[in-house]
Copies of this chain bind each other. A is one copy, B any other.
Amino acid sequence: MRRAIVILAAVFLSEIAAFGADDPLPAWNDGPAKQAIVAFVEQVTTEGSPQFVPAADRIATFDNDGTLWCEHPTYTQMAFALDRVKALAPEHPEWKTKQPFQAALDDDLNALGAAGVKGMIELVMASHAGMTTSQFETIVADWFKTARHPRFKRPYTELAYQPMLELLAYLRANGFKTYIVSGGGLEFMRPMTEAVYGIPPEQVVGSTIKTKYEVEDGKPVLMRLPELDFIDDKTGKPINIDRYIGKRPIAAFGNSAGDREMLEWTGAGAGPRLMMLVFHDDAQREYAYGPANGLADTKFGTFPESLMNEAQAKGWVVTSMKNDWKRVFAFDK
């Protein structure tokens, strides 16, 4: 009898351990967001069910800034651009008195905000072009090694959200192909997406500048030109999803007005769908912005009231960082 109890206890404990080990989303609290994810994945992977989706069509697209990693106090790529402008400043004495370069050199985020998209594009063109694609890759990879986030004092690559990393892995374990579809620069993201997110270069879609094929000393190179090719934001996202992937996603994840059309496009397909927005309401562990702190229209990660209304009307899942996430970053206790 005693032995039987020991065996039963052992079975019971091993089942608890197995359940714990089997939970693919341990950084998520057991709330509506996690339940929606698990229910959706079970639905589309249950063979014989009318909701079953073949693996080849299990396409999931993720915005990057503010959805997979931190985008405050500024986009990571903007931090990179500012560092590049500083590094290039000795060759451009005129920048000291010329906007938006002056603002960049002074780390004046307000003046940069005032310079708007036009200013941002000017900075990107000055700092992201004029070299070959492989030179740029090295510059970006080197920058990620040394740059540190101003608040968290850690490499930007450590500011990926732990719950989203688990979600990516969970979807892939269930036969999904996971893509990044970001307003960020394609070639700024690619040097780190495989290591940080497990997403290979060919599954990254982003904004692009033009490149030119040239032969230097008998060796072909692709020169990065200071000319915009395509902005992968807002309506650009479904356009690029169609162009690069050629299939409509069955799940899409975003956090701002820039992701609205991607979620609409995803939701307009037939069959089961999961659309989710990450809502930044956690000033303590990360940031609170958008409607969460009364700022309907911040410079980065715009989350207008109309987006919240559309989410509610269309049944998009709004994930609260504060309530739905047990941990935000891997380094959180």
By a beta-carbon cutoff of 8 Å, the part of chain A in contact with chain B is 56, 133, 177, 186-187, 190, 200-202, 204, 208, 211-213, 215, 219-220, 222, 235, 238-239, 242-247, 261, 264-265, 268
Contacts and interface: CB of A to CB of B under 8 A. Distances in A.
Nearest to A194: B56
Contact of A211 (B201, B208, B242, B264): B242
A312 to B, nearest CB: 16
Nearest to A205: B244
Contacts of A212: 235, 239
Contact of A222 (B186, B242, B247): B242
A137 to B, nearest CB: 10
A208 B243 contact: yes
Contacts of A268: 219-220
Nearest to A234: B213
Given A201-B246, A212-B239, A222-B238, 7 more contacts: A186-B246, A200-B246, A202-B246, A213-B235, A213-B238, A219-B268, A220-B265
Nearest to A229: B243
A211 B268 CA distance: 17
A186 B208 CA distance: 19
CB-CB nearest 4 A-B residue pairs? A201-B246, A213-B235, A202-B245, A220-B264
Nearest to A203: B202
B133 A247 contact: no
A186 B238 contact: no
Given A56-B200, A202-B247, A246-B202, A238 B220 contact: yes
A235 to B, nearest CB: 4
Contacts of A264: 215, 220
B186 A220 contact: no
Contacts of A265: 213, 220
A309 to B, nearest CB: 15
30 contacts: A56-B200, A133-B242, A186-B243, A186-B246, A187-B246, A190-B246, A200-B246, A201-B246, A201-B247, A202-B245, A202-B246, A208-B243, A211-B239, A211-B242, A211-B243, A212-B235, A212-B239, A213-B235, A213-B238, A213-B239, A213-B261, A215-B264, A219-B268, A220-B238, A220-B264, A220-B265, A220-B268, A222-B238, A222-B239, A244-B244
